[in-house]
Amino acid sequence: MSVTFHNNTEQTCHHGNESSAPHELLIFKAIGISIIVVACILGNTLCLVVLRQMHALEPVTRVFMTSVTVADLSTGLFLGVPIIGATILDCWPYGTRDDFGNLLD
């Protein structure tokens, strides 16, 4: 499978990671993952708003809850959104493990 991006570059799925799943299953998976990611983002944003408004918590508890909420929100944004794209495309178009191997050497 190949994907054409807005700057007219073409990216192909790597290492044959394409599956032969029916389109109905892919749509169902994409909707399910999207609901989970949106709930994660909205729920953690709401939690940050509540933590900002609540003054009855001890400062240490508030800092701990805020850090946990920000970590969970970051996970939803930086991992959830690319996984939705990969599920919709039915492949992993973001590169291979070999693309990042040279950065670690």
Res 100: pLDDT:
60
Distances in Å between the alpha carbon of 96 and those of 17, 45, 93? 11, 32, 8
Express each pLDDT in 7-63 by its tens digit: 555 555 654 445 566 788 888 999 999 999 999 999 999 999 999 999 899 999 999
Express each pLDDT in 63-101 by its tens digit: 999 999 999 999 999 999 889 888 888 887 777 766 665
Residue 76, judged by CB atoms within 10 A of its CB (0-12, 13-18, 19+), counts as buried
pTM of the model: 0.70
Cβ proximity of 67 and 75 under 8 Å: no
Res 94: pLDDT:
75
Residue 1, judged by CB atoms within 10 A of its CB (0-12, 13-18, 19+), counts as exposed
